[in-house]
Every structure is written in C-alpha cells, then in structure tokens.
Amino acid sequence: MAVVLAMVITCWIQPASAQKIGYVSTDAIRDKYEPNKIAIQRLEQYVTEWREDLALKQKDIEELELEMKKNRLIWSDQEREAKEKELEDKRRERDKIAKERFEPGGEYDKQAEALLNVIWEKIYAAIQKVAAAEGYDIVWDKSTQPLIYVNAKYDITVKVMKELGIDSDELERKQQDIIDNDPRNKRQEEPRRRKSRRSSAAEEKEEPKPDATIKSVPTPDPVTPQPDSTKQEKDIPR
C-alpha cells in the first residue's frame, strides 16, 4: 500500500501538462459484462456439483460411523478392523477430493483461469483503447488500488463499458450529476466565465476608430463683413 501511495504522489507532483491521469473500476465493468456473468455461473455450477459430491461422501462416512457404534460390541476384532479401515479410506478419499478441487492451484483455480482469462483480456484491451483515444498516460484500477480522492470527470469506466457494448446509460447519468455537482469542477469554470465577461465589456467600451483613408476637409475661415462706405458718409455731420 505504501508503494502504491508513493507512486500516486510521484505522478501527481509532475507538471499537469506532462501527464493525464484517469481511473477505472474493473469490478463495475465485470458486474455488467454478460460474458463474465456466464463464466461466473459456470464456475458456480462446478462448485455446486463438487459440494454435492462431497456431501454424499460425508453422508457415507457418517452412516458408517453410526453402524460401527451400534455393532462395536457384537463384531469380532477382524470385523471391527475391517470397518475401521473402510472408514479411514472413505475419509481419506473425501479429503483428497476436497483438496484437489478447492485448495489453491486446484481444479477450481484452473477452471476459473480458463474461463475468466479471456474476459480479463477483453476488458483490459478495451481500457487500453479508450485510454489511448482520450490521451491518458496513466489509468488506475480503483478496484485493486483504492483511491482516496478523485474527480469523477477522470473516470473512464462508462466509456470502457460502451466499448464493450455494455448498457451504461444510467451509470453515465449518475456520473454526470456527480461531475456537475463537484465544487472543484465549478471553480475551474468560473475564471473562464469572468474572463469572457471582461473581454465583452472591453469591446463595448472601445469606440470605433475613424477611417484613415477619409481625408479631412479644411473648414474655411469666417468672412469678416466690410463696412458700407456710403453709410459712413451719411453719418458724418457737415
């Protein structure tokens, strides 16, 4: 866990422009993926059959034990020894079958590997395809590596489901609601809105410049009226 945490910290301290990090939930994908459901049902069928077989063997053992208790006083030594050996053989057979089928590396693990490996290969191929198309450098699987603090907009689970042909409309709506209501995403949008408002206000205040190609026509000087000489002669007293 400490190694994983150190890797997360190392990745996040890199410049934001250098890496694009996303995450996915393979558990959610497998729960919705029909081929995976069929494989799980097949495994459960194996387990049911094996347990029924072991239950029958256990029943034989219990019946033999009861028979030995009832007849221990009337059987001869040879009869008791034969029954004890029979009981031991039945117990050994039961334990051997249980071990072969259910212990690590047994029949169950082999069947699970044969049925589920193909499913995992398809899921991981879809993850790689989506990650490459979306430009992600790193994709975490939160099903195996729990992430404490993440933003839902970096979750590519729905996109991987669509790549696999899984119906994920409801999950996509829920994810979008989480993204829209996340304060981190709202804070990222506010500076852009304020910037656009400022630019539009500046454009409104800016007055259009006159066309430099239009030449200004000089305004003529005002004409000063000349005095009437005849009027002046009449006004002079004689």
40-87 pLDDT tens trace:
999 999 999 999 999 999 999 999 999 999 998 899 999 999 999 999
Structure tokens at 125: 């191929």
Q: Using CA atoms, how far apart are residues 177 and 169, in angstroms rounded to an integer?
A: 13
Report if residue 212 sits inside a domain.
Answer: no
Domains in the chain: how many in total? 1
Distance CA 26, CA 43 (A): 19
CB of 67 closer than 8 Å to CB of 83: yes
Report yes or no on 166 lying in a domain: yes
Residue 84 covered by a domain: yes
CA distances in angstroms from 223 to 1, 53, 69, 220, 227, listed in the order given: 98, 127, 147, 9, 13
What pLDDT was estimated at residue 26? 96
Q: How far apart are CA 75 and CA 68, in angstroms?
A: 9
Mean pLDDT, the chain, whole residue set: 81
Task: Measure Cα distances from 228 to 104, 222, 223, 224, 235 in Å.
Answer: 131, 19, 15, 13, 11
Confidence of residue 1 (pLDDT cuts 50, 70, 90): very low
Indicate whether 39 belongs to any domain: yes
Mean pLDDT of 150-167: 94
Region of poorest pLDDT, from 52-66, 166-180, 186-200: 186-200
Is residue 29 included in any domain, yes or no?
yes
78-127, pLDDT tens digit by residue?
999 999 999 999 999 999 999 999 999 999 999 999 999 999 999 999 99
Rounded Cα–Cα distance for residues 208 and 170 (Å): 52
Q: Which residues pair with 155 in a beta bridge?
A: 23
Residue 7 lies inside a defined structural domain of this protein: no
Burial of 127 (0-12, 13-18, 19+ CB in 10 A): buried
Domain that holds residue 83: 21-181
Pick the residue with more confidence: 124 or 8?
Answer: 124
Can you point out the beta strands (E) in the chain? 21-24, 138-141
Question: Is 117 a domain residue?
Answer: yes
Task: Look at residue 238 and tell me if it is in a domain.
Answer: no
The pTM for the full model equals 0.63
